Amino acid sequence: MFWDSPEWGKFRYFTDTMESSSPAPLSPALRCRDREGREKMKAGCSIVDKPEGGGGYHFPEWAYKTESSPGSRQIQLWHFILELLQKEEFRHVIAWQQGEYGEFVIKDPDEVARLWGRRKCKPQMNYDKLSRALRWARLEVLPLSVGEFYQKHKPQVNYDKLRYYYNKRILHKTKGKRFTYKFNFNKLVMPNYPFINIRPNGVVPQSAPPVPTASSRFHFPALDPHSPSEDSQPGARFPPGSLLQAHPEPLGDADRKPESAELEENASDWRRELLAPSHPSASAAAAAGPKRKPDVVLPLFSRPGIFPDHPHSPFAVSPLPGRPGVLNVPISPALSLTPTLFSYSPSPGLSPFAGSSCFSFNPEEMKHYLHSQACSVFNYHLSPRTFPRYPLVVPPLQCPVPLEEQPPFPIKLQPPPAGRKNRERLESPARVKVEPAAEKERDGKAEERRGEEEEEEREEEEKIPVFARPAAPPAAWIPIPTHPGSSGEENAEKPSRDSSGDAGNQEKREDALMPPKLRLKRRWNGDSRQEIPEDSRQNGIWHLPKAVAAASDT
DNA sequence: GGCGGAACCG
DNA sequence: CGGTTCCGCC
């Protein structure tokens, strides 16, 4: 079976026996050479040991696309893990864990590592490295420390180091269980599995793949009472159709729940992208050099209410009403945009596709999907790039809490242990490890904090107001082309002259609303516009803790 | 086994 | 950017 690209949302069975008749040869760009110089499949590296076949499995194109694998043109590990999990033949190697939604067990670490190495053309791959990558995918450090790190140690710090301090939390390690991990689906609305049939109960087979069901119903499951990592709150269910109600109001005030300042910042950052007439990354990249390819500059946005039909979208016409100036994602008044309500737990037993050989989903499902998307972007500070292709409308938001009123986050500075390089050349410039002071109070092991229970605590802590009465008209997220060959610019609305002010202001706004990563990177790249926009800071669009700001003066 | 820092890579 | 490689530590 393979995804019927570029028709997004469609796939059809493609069994092993059909492989030989595969009409779609792999792109040369997706090949690599082994040590002997022979060309071999890269993206197409078969996860099945099948030297003769030449094709192996065909992976969906999205797996190698930037917009589906944010920031990468190659498949990401968690994508790969999911793929293995959805294939019956690997059940003996890796499988969903029964009883815990999203949890899976690597039954044969060496084999999984081998498969991964095969896929990535890394013959030296082993479980140690694989697990390192898995650990990578669950980094969990407070983003605020990034700001401090940068401010205080700008000279010594480069982006490569700072990136370690960003949130990911795609995966958890299940403590106490060997080779057991758990997808943090709370943080991850499966961008490439928008039609996952998520069931509240483990009715479906254990290792059923996360692919659409024949009926293609999109279920918002009841919260899993057994999963400690899931938020559980009464009424946090999605009554059928509740999400589909047209709601004239963008968001009901009464329904808003607190979010964290961290989220606020990130949400603002992303809204910046969403609101930007042209993609800020694009301008940043253009200014700082060709760091990003054009196709990386996603998504493209336009004015509210504009939903150019996308030829490759599963929807010939946007399923969203597209009302100008109004939130286009229908939100039930009974719903809030809290993580709680948008946390849904994936079933390890996602219904297998078992029906017709062709599948397409309907607008209603898409609405659910979009809803989740929008909320995930905001609640879990995911990059909108995580949710490609579909028009996404994000509720406008303002920062109700003045910066001065936000409690500075306690941060402790601590010299890092000497790294490999440092150890080699016994010269260690003052490097500093940033670590929340609160950490100190905790048990020595940092890992303790990463447990699921702690995760939940964090979730609680994060609930600081984030959604407020919209201060500005919402922007529409214009879908990006599904087709690799087509260009996003086609659908991009020409950046109309922004009415908000002159170019300087515009620049400041860009800077203010740019995601932290981009900001930092941009500055390290020598961007001249390094001044922190004071007005933006005042607006609380982005900020550093006061303590940090003070520390940076030293 | 599991972890995280650091450097490096494509 | 998403790993990969290496490593020391627990």
Rounded, the Å distance between the CA of A162 and C1' of B7 is 13
Which residues are CB-neighbours of A321 under 8 A, at least 6 positions away? A246, A328, A330
pTM: 0.40
Instruction: Determine the protein residue whose CA lies at the shortest distance from the C1' of C7.
Output: A420
A119 within 8 A of A49, measured Cβ to Cβ: no
Domain map (residue ranges) of chain A: 66-143+160-187
A405: buried, middle or exposed (CB in 10 Å: 19+, 13-18, 0-12)?
A: exposed
User: Taking 80 as the threshold, does the pLDDT of residue A110 lie above it?
Assistant: yes
Question: What average pLDDT does range A443-465 have in this prediction?
Answer: 36
Question: What average pLDDT does range A64-69 have in this prediction?
Answer: 41
pLDDT at A322: 31
Closest CA to A459 of A163, A144, A228, A226: A228
Percent of the residues in chain A that have a pLDDT greater than 70, as a whole number: 14
pLDDT at A135: 84
pLDDT at A427: 39
Closest nucleotide (CA of A106 to C1')? B1
User: Taking 50 as the threshold, does the pLDDT of residue A134 lie above it?
Assistant: yes
- Position A34 confidence tier, pLDDT thresholds 50, 70, 90: very low
Closest nucleotide (CA of A71 to C1')? C1
List, for residues A308-366, the tens digit of each pLDDT value. 323 232 222 222 333 333 323 222 222 222 222 233 333 333 332 322 222 233 444 44
Residue A116 contacts strand C, CB under 7 A: yes
Rounded, the Å distance between the CA of A196 and C1' of C6 is 39
Residue predicted with more confidence, A388 or A120: A120
**Cα–Cα dist A26/A147, whole Å:** 42
pLDDT at A492: 35
What 3 state SS string does A380-448 have? CCCCHHHCCCCCEEECCCCCCCCHHHCCCCCEEEECCCCCHHHHHCCCCCCCCEEEECHHHHCCCCHHH
- Position A553 confidence tier, pLDDT thresholds 50, 70, 90: very low
Instruction: Determine the protein residue whose CA lies at the shortest distance from the C1' of C9.
Output: A417
Which of A49-63, A96-110, A167-181, A313-327 shows the lowest per-residue confidence on average (mean pLDDT)?
Answer: A313-327
Tokens matching residue A473: 């008209």
3-state secondary structure of A301: strand
Which range among A149-153, A458-462, A522-526 has the greatest average pLDDT?
Answer: A149-153
Instruction: Determine the protein residue whose CA lies at the shortest distance from the C1' of C5.
Output: A129
Instruction: Determine the protein residue whose CA lies at the shortest distance from the C1' of B8.
Output: A160
User: Taking 90 as the threshold, does the pLDDT of residue A93 lie above it?
Assistant: yes
**Cα–Cα dist A365/A272, whole Å:** 27
Rounded, the Å distance between the CA of A124 and C1' of C5 is 10
Closest nucleotide (CA of A450 to C1')? B3
pLDDT at A164: 59
Residue predicted with more confidence, A119 or A538: A119
Rounded, the Å distance between the CA of A146 and C1' of B10 is 25
Q: End-to-end CA distance of chain A: give it in Å, rounded.
A: 60
Question: What average pLDDT does range A226-247 have in this prediction?
Answer: 32
Nucleotides on chain C within 7 angstroms of protein Cβ = 1-8
List, for residues A391-414, the tens digit of each pLDDT value. 333 333 333 333 333 333 333 333
- Position A526 confidence tier, pLDDT thresholds 50, 70, 90: very low
- Position A128 confidence tier, pLDDT thresholds 50, 70, 90: very high
Question: What average pLDDT does range A128-133 have in this prediction?
Answer: 92
pLDDT at A147: 55
pLDDT at A130: 93
Nucleotides on chain B within 7 angstroms of protein Cβ = 1-10
**Cα–Cα dist A48/A310, whole Å:** 35
Rounded, the Å distance between the CA of A446 and C1' of C10 is 12
C-alpha separations of A21 from A17, A54, A359, A539 in Å: 8, 11, 21, 59
List, for residues A207-231, the tens digit of each pLDDT value. 333 332 222 222 223 223 333 333 3
Question: Mean pLDDT for chain A?
Answer: 44
pLDDT at A175: 86
Question: What average pLDDT does range A224-250 have in this prediction?
Answer: 32
List, for residues A256-276, the tens digit of each pLDDT value. 333 333 333 333 333 333 333
Residue A165 contacts strand C, CB under 7 A: no
Tokens matching residue A269: 């950052």
**Cα–Cα dist A547/A283, whole Å:** 32
List, for residues A469-491, the tens digit of each pLDDT value. 333 333 333 333 333 333 333 33
pLDDT at A535: 35
- Position A90 confidence tier, pLDDT thresholds 50, 70, 90: very high
Strands A475-478 and A300-302: antiparallel
Instruction: Determine the protein residue whose CA lies at the shortest distance from the C1' of B2.
Output: A131
A205 within 8 A of A349, measured Cβ to Cβ: yes
Closest nucleotide (CA of A423 to C1')? B6
User: Taking 50 as the threshold, does the pLDDT of residue A43 lie above it?
Assistant: no
pLDDT at A172: 79
Instruction: Determine the protein residue whose CA lies at the shortest distance from the C1' of C2.
Output: A72
pLDDT at A97: 87
Residue A521 contacts strand C, CB under 7 A: yes
Residue A160 contacts strand C, CB under 7 A: yes
Rounded, the Å distance between the CA of A70 and C1' of C1 is 8
User: Taking 70 as the threshold, does the pLDDT of residue A99 lie above it?
Assistant: yes
- For domain A66-143+160-187, the CATH architecture is Orthogonal Bundle (1.10)
- Position A79 confidence tier, pLDDT thresholds 50, 70, 90: confident
Rounded, the Å distance between the CA of A35 and C1' of C6 is 21
Which of A348-362, A446-460, A501-515 shows the lowest per-residue confidence on average (mean pLDDT)?
Answer: A348-362
Tokens matching residue A260: 């964290």
Rounded, the Å distance between the CA of A131 and C1' of B2 is 9
List, for residues A163-201, the tens digit of each pLDDT value. 655 556 677 788 888 999 888 665 554 444 443 433 333
User: Taking 70 as the threshold, does the pLDDT of residue A150 lie above it?
Assistant: no
Rounded, the Å distance between the CA of A134 and C1' of C5 is 14
pLDDT at A127: 94
User: Taking 90 as the threshold, does the pLDDT of residue A111 lie above it?
Assistant: yes
Closest nucleotide (CA of A175 to C1')? B2
What 3 state SS string does A472-504 have? CCCEEEECCCCCCCCCHHHCCCCCCCCCCCCHH
